[in-house]
Every structure is written in C-alpha cells, then in structure tokens.
Structure 1
C-alpha cells in the first residue's frame, strides 16, 4: 500500500435503537415542482411566506443577477430518498439537511425554492447540472476528482468516513478479523458496492483484482454481506450505521470498519462558470457553521436512524 490505512472498529450504543425510527417511505415525486408544504414536526418553513425578493440591479455578478431575474433557485436532488439529507415525510412533504440548506440559500437571495427530483442516479444529476438544468445540486453529493472535471464544488458541509461492512464469519474463516483490508486486496476477494456511486469508482480503482459485485441499491448490498454473498461492502459510515440501527440483526453477522485517513466530503455542486453563485453558497455554509460529521447527524435527525 502507498499509505497506511488505520482501521478502527465502530461501536454502537444499543439504547439509541429504541429512541430512533425509520423515515417513512413515500411515492416517487412528480416532475419539477415548487415545494410549498412542510411536515408538522419540522422546523423548516418551505412555504417561504414573507419572502423579500432582491432587485437584480443590486447585484453586479452576472449569474446571481440571472438567478434573481428568474426569481427561483432550481436544486437537483435524487428521486430516491436519502435520509437525513432529504426525504419525504408522512404527510408527503420534505425534510432533511439538504432541504434545509437549499431553503436557506433561496431565502438569502429572496427567490423561490424549486426542487427537481426526477434524476434516478448521481450520474444523471451530474449530467443535468453540467447541462444547465439545475442551478445547483444538493443531494448527498460527494466531491470526487472525476466529477470536479465537469462541475465545481462548495466547501464540504458534511464529512463522512469511508467504511467497510464485513461479514464476521468470513473474516474469521480467512483469519483477517483484525484487519480485513488485507483480504480485500487479494485477487478474487468478493466486494460489493452500489452501481453508479462514487464508491463504485473507489472500489474499482483501489481493488482492481477483486471480484466486484455491483448492486442496484444499498439494502441489496447490505443483504449480500449478511448472506455471505460478498466478503465486504464499501460505502460511508453513515449508511452502515443506519443499516444496523434500523435492523439490529445486521450487527449479528457483520462488523463495520472505518478507514481513518479516507474521507467522503459532501458538497453543494454548481455548473462550471457559476463561480459567483458558488462564492455565495460557500459564504452561506461558513456563516451558518455547516460542518457536520456522523454524530451531528444522529443528534439532529434521530428519526432517520
């Protein structure tokens, strides 16, 4: 290895399980539409009542002036919920950290918030943003060198850790329970990931000799680890913690290992050429102290765990 990877075992507090509930699922959203309703339990007010539009002539940055002239901020988010970042609530409205940030930025400009949830993959989000369909993407969107070739990223507002969900029985069988990364580097090691994500690229780049199994969604990937179909799965610590806290039986068959020196930076993305908008987004994130890690998300969005 080029650098030392320090793996630490993630421990979980069982009492948290009884206090947390899964976010309810809802039907897929329709085409782009202004979000105008909000869940009763949420502190967000997506109705934007009392909004004060800012006159375009007060700004001399071209893209910001265009935004104000059209009186809307179009934000791309995936069709599938990603709690606690964005998700449908029991009454069909939306909540989550990405919704909160998007609303705050729209309110800063005094424009209407429009959320487009027609994209079915991160690749589709990326392509739509690059083609100008959105003003920005806020969708648990990871910063990667490949994506940075076509779009621009804000400062990270969430920092997650890249992690492995390892089957306990297989780890003991191969004698690598203390350091499963050794086995994952061996030719033919069976590793799972989710199609079209930054983690698929990570696995293919870092484990070129592995037998890589690509799954359509996170539950299928987790089930593959539990069922010994794969030795390990690769994703972020948030995703695996949610899987265990929603179904404690997963912890009977698996263990989470985190890679201490590899981070997953979640950022807002804008199209190239939108540097002035990006400056405003960065200022908003910094002034409002958006710098979350896993523990912060569990604290502020317990209903999603």
Structure 2
C-alpha cells in the first residue's frame, strides 16, 4: 500500500496532504504529525493477470496488484473498464487466461479454487441475483452447510452473522420481501457466516437510496473493525475520498493507477483516462487554498474536518 504522508503539524490535525481514516489517527499520530501507515500481510495478489471473454473481448490485461490485510480499497473506472471482471477472477468465479492469483502465497489452481472462495467473498451489485433461499436464516446457512460443518458450528456462524448485520429479527422472513438495503445486508451476512477475511463489493450502493447507502457505509466500518479486508468497486469519487486508504483505477482492462486517493485525484492524466472527476471536498480545499484561506496542499476527508479546519 502506498504510504500516507502529512502536511500538517502543530495544532492542525485535520490538514493533510493525504487523507487518513479516522480509526488510524489515535495510533498513528505522534507529536502532532501523522506518520506513514504500513499495511499488514499480503493476503491476495495477482501477477500478470489476463482475461478475455470467448478469447476475443479482452477484459483484463497484465494486472499486477497486491492486497494487504485490513486495507480499504476503492476500485474505480468507467463501465467496461474491468472492475467486475477483476473481482470475479479474484473470487475464483472466472479462470484467468494467463497470469497467476495467489492467496497467502499459494497459487490458485482448479484444485484449490473452492478454498479461495471460503476466504474471499463477493457481494454482487444486484442482491436478487445472489439470494436463493426461502428465508433469511436459510440463506445465511447455505454456505456453512456446504462446508459440511457440524450442525452446532453452522448455527453459531449463522447466529453471529445475523446479529452482526442486525438481521436476527428478520431470520424467518422471505428475503425477497425485504428492502434493497436489507437484502444487501443478507448478502453480506452470507460472507460473514463463511468467516471470509476479504470482502469484494461490486458497486454496492448503485441501487440504494441515500439513507441505505449511509447504513451500508456504517456496515463497512463495522466489518473493518472486525479485521476484514474490503475492496469496493464504485463510481462514487466522494465516497472513495472519505473512505478508502487506497484506490485502484482501471481503464480498458488495464490497471492504470494504484495509490492513495489524494495522489490519484491530483493526477490529471488518470482523471481524464478513467473518466473521473475530482472529489468535491478536494476541489473545495483547492479553491480555499487559492484564496489563501488554508495552506496550499491542505485537504480534509469529510465536512466535519472541513468545519474544524475553518474554525481553528
């Protein structure tokens, strides 16, 4: 993971060259400054990953990426850039044409692909395409039961997953009668019950209203606090700015950028090539700096930090 560096000093804890997640700050701030964050162990990596549909339409070209434990990664790019195809390869749903995928140093092959799916879960954009059971509890128990776990172990996992996603009171309800946000939580509970350590979310807020999108973001924080690693494909640059530690940018099946969001969005060539725009708060801070209101290169991750910066 690219390091996150400070421009702030003294009594300016919210003025940064690169955005920090709030949870890091108590541990990482020393002497009024922010130090570089070192990621955890590499849990998933690709080497020269290539994939094409029917051997004709190239979807991924020479993708090299490493994912470290407990990272929060936003995956950006226009429609057809390769984001979803990359996720389906990382989860073992698709098999690469060439290149390698390694999970904790072990190369993934046809023989051990099922093992990969135990540890790397995926939540699709449309929950209705993922839910198959007649009740919420049955849906969440499907994965653990297919692992042929003891009955009591399945029950423990299901109960904990339902509680984690605030679904206990809905366990006997048919999932297809739930709201879009509730269905999304059922899909996440599926992966929690599998005790996966890496979660892939394919445009998870695309069909959610603002309230359920905010609830979903709170769920992400809960998963991260449980020690999970999170990758989210999204078109929402403002979400990426405030949430992600790192961003991957795809264009035409290639990974064209891999860095902290603040550095990604300062690269005009990446913004143009991937059809992105700068986050609103980044633009606001740049305009404030142009008027001499804040130091040049000062950025904040959310409106609360902006308020603190302007009122100090």
TM-score, scaled to structure 1 = 0.27
Q: Select the structure that is richer in helix.
A: 2
TM-score, scaled to structure 2 = 0.26
